[in-house]
Amino acid sequence: MSYCLKSESLLDTGPIYVRENGHLYMVNQSSGTVKNATPKPRPFRLFSKGFSVELCMNREDDSARRERTDHFIFTYTKEGNLRYSAKSLFGLVLGYISDNVDHIDSLIGFPEQIAEKLFSAAEARQKFTEPVTGLRALQKFTEAYGSLVLCSLCLQNRYLVISEKLEEIKSFRELTCLDLSCCKLGDNHELLEHITKEALSSVTRLLLKDNCLSDAGLRKMTAPVRVMKRGLENLSVLDLSCNPEITDMGIGYLFSFKKLNYLDISETGLKDVKAVIQRLQTQISLVHSKVPLKEFDHSNCKTEGWAEQTVLQWEQLAMKTVKPNENLKSRTAAEHFYGKRRRIEEPVKCTLVQIKAKASENLQFYKDKVQNCHFPLLKKEAAASHQLKKNKEQGLTEQERERTSKQKHTCLTMEDWDLLNTY
C-alpha cells in the first residue's frame, strides 16, 4: 500500500526496461531512484550508411557506365592536369545508333558519307559478329549500298569462316571478285548455288581452285546462263585448277560463258588435252598460253570495301573456336611410359599422278583479242587459230548449221530442267 502511494506521488508510469548488447534489463526501482539512466536513443536511419545517388548509379552494369564516360573526351594539359570536354552531338547520336544498329528499319536513300561512318562505328563495337542481330544489321547496309559495303571478297583457305558465317557472306551483293580457292566446298555446297543467283550476276572474276568440283558441279553452275541467260553471264576470269574430277565433258558447259577472257583448267581430269584445247579455240576463241598468266595470281584478289575489318573479325572469331587437342600430350606421355615409338609414315608418291600433273600444269587460256598486247610472241599463233576458225565456219553447209542449231536447243536433259525449276 505504501509502495502504491509512493509510486503515485512520483508519477509512476510502470516498470522501465533497457536493452543493452542484445539483452533486456529492468531498472531497479525499489530504492525509489533509477540506478541506470535510460540511454539516449540513437538517430534513426531510413537508408544505409553508405547510401547516396552515386552509389545507386554504380549498381548498374559496366556497359552503362562506359556509355556515360563515352560522352566526354579526356585530355591532359601542358601542366599535366586532366581536362575533359563534351563530345559533339553528332558523335553522341552516331554512337547511340551504332549500339542499336540492328533496329534500323531501312537505309535506302541515306547519305553514303554518314552511312560509312555509321558502319565503322558499328564495326568498332563488333556488332556484325553477333549471331542474329549482326546478320540483320549487315543486310540493311548491303541492301542500300551494295558494292560499297564490299566489292571484292577473298576467302582463300577460309573454310571455317564460310561454315560459321555463311548467311552473312550470302548477304553481300554486287561483288566483282570472289576468291574461294582451297575451301573444299564440293558440288552441292549452298554457297556455290548462291553464286548463280541474280544478286551475284556482277561477278567478273571467280576463283574456284581446289574445291572438289566435278562435271556435275559445272553443270549446275552454268545452267542459268545456258538456258535463262542470267547468273554468271558477266564472268571474265575463271579458275578451275586442281579439280581432278572435271573431265572433257565438263569443259563443254563452259562454252556458255561468252564473255570469258581467261580460263585455268590446270591439274584437272582431262583425258584428251589436245582436243580440249582445240574446242576452246573454236568455240569461245580461247588460246592456250605457254607462260603463266598474271590474272591467276591470287595475290591480286583482296577483300575491299567497308566490311574489310568485319571479315577479319569473323576470321579471328572462327580461329578461337578451333582449340588444340589437349589429349596429344597425355597420349605421347603414355607412349613413352610403355616404351612405344610413334610410327612415321611417309606419303606414297605416285609417279603416274606426277606425270599427269606435269602434263597439265599449264592449261591456262586467254582470249586472243585481249591478250595480244601482253604477249606479242603469240600473235601468230592467235592469228592462225582465228583463221582456222573462219575456214571451219565457211566449210559448214546450211544443213549442218541447222542440225547444230537444233542440237543446241535440245541439249538439255531432265536433270537440267529439274535444276532450273529450283530457281
Q: How far apart are CA 233 and CA 201, in angstroms?
A: 7
Q: What is the pLDDT of residue 73?
A: 72
Question: Which of 392, 376, 389 has its CA nearest to residue 285?
Answer: 389
Using an 8 Å Cβ cutoff, are 2 and 15 in contact?
Answer: no
Using an 8 Å Cβ cutoff, are 267 and 244 in contact?
Answer: yes
Reading the chain (423 residues) residue by residue, the pLDDT tens digits are 444 444 444 455 667 777 777 777 777 655 544 444 445 556 655 555 555 544 444 444 555 444 455 677 777 777 777 777 888 889 889 999 999 999 999 999 999 999 999 999 999 999 999 988 999 999 999 999 999 999 999 999 999 999 999 999 999 999 999 999 999 999 999 999 999 998 899 999 999 999 999 999 999 999 999 888 888 999 999 999 999 999 999 999 999 999 999 999 999 999 999 999 999 999 999 999 999 999 998 777 899 999 999 999 999 998 887 765 555 555 666 565 565 555 544 444 443 334 344 444 689 999 976 544 444 444 444 455 555 555 555 554 455 555 544 444 445 666 666 666 665
Q: What is the pLDDT of residue 88?
A: 86
Three-state secondary structure string covering 344-399: CCCCCCCHHHHHHHHHCCCCEEEEHHHHCCCCHHHHHHHHHHHHHHHHHHHHCCHH
Q: Which helix (H) or strand (E) holds 194?
A: helix 190-195
Length of the chain: 423
Q: How far apart are CA 350 and CA 140, in angstroms?
A: 52
Spatial strand order in the sheet of 237-239: 152-154, 177-179, 205-207, 237-239, 262-264, 364-367, 286-289
Give residues with Cβ within 8 angstroms of 240, minimum separation 6. 208, 209, 213, 218, 246, 263, 264, 265, 268
Using an 8 Å Cβ cutoff, are 275 and 304 in contact?
Answer: no
Domains and CATH numbers, the chain: 96-148 (no CATH), 150-313 (3.80.10.10)
DSSP H helix total and E strand total for the chain = 19, 11
Q: How far apart are CA 85 and CA 346, in angstroms?
A: 67
Q: How far apart are CA 292 and CA 226, in angstroms?
A: 29
Put simply, whether the predicted model's pTM sits higher than 0.85 gets the answer no
- Number of Cα atoms under 13 Å in the Cβ half of residue 351: 0
Please state, in angstroms and as integers, the Cα–Cα distance from residue 134 to each residue in 2, 102, 103, 115, following that order.
91, 7, 11, 16
Using an 8 Å Cβ cutoff, are 219 and 249 in contact?
Answer: no
Using an 8 Å Cβ cutoff, are 177 and 203 in contact?
Answer: yes
Report the sign of the C-alpha dihedral through residues 402, 405, 407, 410, in that order: negative
Please state, in angstroms and as integers, the Cα–Cα distance from residue 410 to each residue in 164, 232, 233, 417, following that order.
41, 22, 21, 12
State the distance between the two ends of the chain, measured CA to CA, in whole angstroms.
112
